[in-house]
């Protein structure tokens, strides 16, 4: 928490940001909090990431605490997958600790415990990479240094440099879920990550769900002014015709001609991962908090259409009265306030969400259908 921005704003920006370059790539680091009372902040940070680095402690007792039921290592890996992080680097840190001493057995033990869990969270084999390292001594990060000979594969920065960026729609209608709006020397600024389209100075945009039109006057990436920015970039935009109160977290800057849909209910498919002991079943009327891209809203489950268990996907139950954890469920959900969302097939990042209750992630899902628009033109 050392950045000028935090001092200037007088508050901690929940997700730390920094930038660095490797020979072939430019990276923005989003340092998300790991503590479980800050998971909502972690969600808004991770929802902007393309590559996740999950730091796992190899120290005796520390890995076990993070991995048992309700532990943070598990929740983070699961959230990363739902939020659209397609590559996960599992950095097994503190290998130099006296209780570990770079022992291959300890590394193998952690890999064997994590692998089945990653697969059940939906990661395929080419989507995760285990990497033993030590942050304290700098082993296997930029150079191998004192890394023992049994460690194969590339070091941390070399591996990052070789990760291909995910495919994106450069030419689609603009979508920028906003992280924050603030005043800087009298000018109104907006921060967010471009999920689709390209943004240029002079472009007219509309802030959804409030439908406020405004203009982008300049585009900055890492404090440098740019002629344009494509999707995938984390940008700061100087805005005209809008006040910072209208640029709140969770709003989406979109193309004027083709704005983002605003809905107060939708149909979704979700995976129920863990329910609190005091409410062990999910029924219609179940209330929770919905986190999608950077928005967080209260929501309620309206109707259950179909459920099946994660283990036996053939047995489907139509219109179930309730579901338990470990089920896959198709249902409709209503949101307390109209929110800018999209279907998963439209803009994937605006179509993914997680449900949380009592401070835990209870379900992860994707939006399958939005209500039909009143206008005759149909969205695909």
3-state helix, strand, coil in the chain (%, to 5): 20, 40, 40
pLDDT in the model for residue 36: 64
pLDDT in the model for residue 64: 85
Cα-based torsion angle of the residue sequence 218, 23, 88, 109 in order, rounded to the nearest 10 degrees: -150
What is the band of 38 on the pLDDT scale with cuts at 50, 70, 90? low
Whole-prediction pTM: 0.68
Residue 133: pLDDT above 70? yes
pLDDT in the model for residue 288: 92
Residue 270: pLDDT above 90? no
Residue 44: pLDDT above 70? no
pLDDT in the model for residue 376: 42
Of 27-41, 82-96, 102-116, 256-270, minimum mean pLDDT range: 27-41
Question: Helix, strand, or coil here: 69?
Answer: coil
pLDDT in the model for residue 325: 82
Residue 239: pLDDT above 70? yes
Which among 230, 231, 241 has a CA at the least distance from the CA of 190? 241
- Give me the mean pLDDT over the 171-177 stretch: 86
Higher pLDDT, 69 or 126: 126
Residue 333: pLDDT above 90? yes
What is the band of 310 on the pLDDT scale with cuts at 50, 70, 90? low
pLDDT in the model for residue 374: 57
- Give me the mean pLDDT over the 88-103 stretch: 88
Q: Which long-range contacts (CB under 8 A, 24 or more apart) does 45-48 make?
A: 45/14, 45/15, 46/76, 46/79, 46/80, 46/83, 46/85, 47/83, 47/84, 47/177, 47/291, 47/293, 47/294, 47/349, 47/352, 48/179, 48/193, 48/234, 48/294
Residue 240: pLDDT above 80? yes
Q: What are phi and psi of 103, to 5 degrees?
A: -80, 130
Which among 68, 5, 1 has a CA at the least distance from the CA of 222? 5
Higher pLDDT, 214 or 82: 214
Highest mean pLDDT among 32-36, 189-193, 330-334: 330-334
Of 166-175, 251-260, 279-288, minimum mean pLDDT range: 166-175
What is the band of 377 on the pLDDT scale with cuts at 50, 70, 90? very low
What is the band of 6 on the pLDDT scale with cuts at 50, 70, 90? low
pLDDT in the model for residue 301: 92
Of 23-32, 118-127, 295-304, 354-363, minimum mean pLDDT range: 23-32
Residue 13: pLDDT above 60? no
What is the percent of the chain with per-residue pLDDT over 70, rounded to a whole number? 86
DSSP 320: -
19 half-sphere exposure, CB direction, 13 A CA radius: 9
- Give me the mean pLDDT over the 179-183 stretch: 84
- Give me the mean pLDDT over the 109-128 stretch: 86
Higher pLDDT, 15 or 104: 104
pLDDT in the model for residue 10: 43
pLDDT in the model for residue 5: 54
Exposed / middle / buried, residue 159 (Cβ in 10 Å: 0-12, 13-18, 19+): middle
pLDDT in the model for residue 2: 52
What mean pLDDT, rounded, does the chain reach?
82
What is the band of 371 on the pLDDT scale with cuts at 50, 70, 90? confident
184 half-sphere exposure, CB direction, 13 A CA radius: 17
């Amino acid at each position: 928490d050392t950045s000028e921005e935090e001092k200037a704003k007088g508050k901690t920006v929940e997700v730390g940001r920094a930038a660095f370059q490797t020979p072939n790539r430019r990276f923005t680091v989003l340092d998300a909090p790991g503590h479980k009372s800050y998971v909502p902040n972690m969600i808004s940070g991770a929802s902007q990431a393309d590559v996740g680095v999950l730091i796992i402690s190899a120290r005796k007792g520390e890995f076990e605490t993070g991995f048992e039921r309700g532990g943070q290592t598990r929740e983070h890996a699961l959230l990363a997958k739902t939020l659209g992080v397609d590559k996960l680097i599992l950095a097994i840190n503190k290998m130099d600790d006296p209780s570990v001493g770079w022992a291959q057995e300890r590394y193998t033990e952690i890999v064997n415990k994590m692998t089945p869990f990653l697969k059940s969270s939906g990661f395929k084999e080419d989507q995760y990479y285990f990497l033993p390292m030590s942050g304290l001594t700098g082993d296997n990060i930029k150079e191998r240094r004192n890394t023992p000979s049994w460690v194969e594969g590339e070091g941390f920065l070399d591996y990052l440099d070789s990760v291909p960026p995910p495919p994106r729609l450069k030419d689609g209608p603009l979508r920028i879920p906003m992280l924050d709006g603030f005043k800087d020397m009298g000018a109104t600024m907006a921060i967010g990550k471009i999920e689709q389209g390209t943004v240029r100075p002079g472009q007219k945009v509309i802030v959804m769900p409030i439908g406020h039109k405004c203009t982008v006057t300049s585009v900055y990436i890492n404090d440098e002014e740019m002629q344009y920015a494509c999707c995938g970039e984390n940008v700061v935009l100087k805005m005209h015709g809008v006040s910072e109160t209208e640029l709140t977290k969770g709003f989406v800057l979109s193309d004027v001609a083709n704005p983002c849909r605003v809905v107060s209910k939708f149909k979704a498919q979700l995976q129920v991962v863990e329910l609190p002991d005091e409410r062990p079943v999910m029924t219609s009327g179940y209330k929770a908090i919905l986190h999608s891209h950077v928005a967080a809203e209260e929501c309620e489950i309206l109707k259950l259409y179909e459920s099946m268990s994660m283990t036996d996907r053939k047995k489907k139950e139509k219109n179930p009265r309730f579901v338990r954890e470990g089920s896959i469920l198709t249902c409709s959900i209503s949101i307390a306030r109209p929110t800018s969302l999209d279907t998963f097939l439209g803009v994937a990042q605006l179509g993914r969400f997680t449900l949380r209750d009592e401070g835990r992630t209870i379900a992860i899902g994707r939006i399958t259908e939005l209500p039909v628009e009143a206008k005759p033109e149909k969205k695909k």
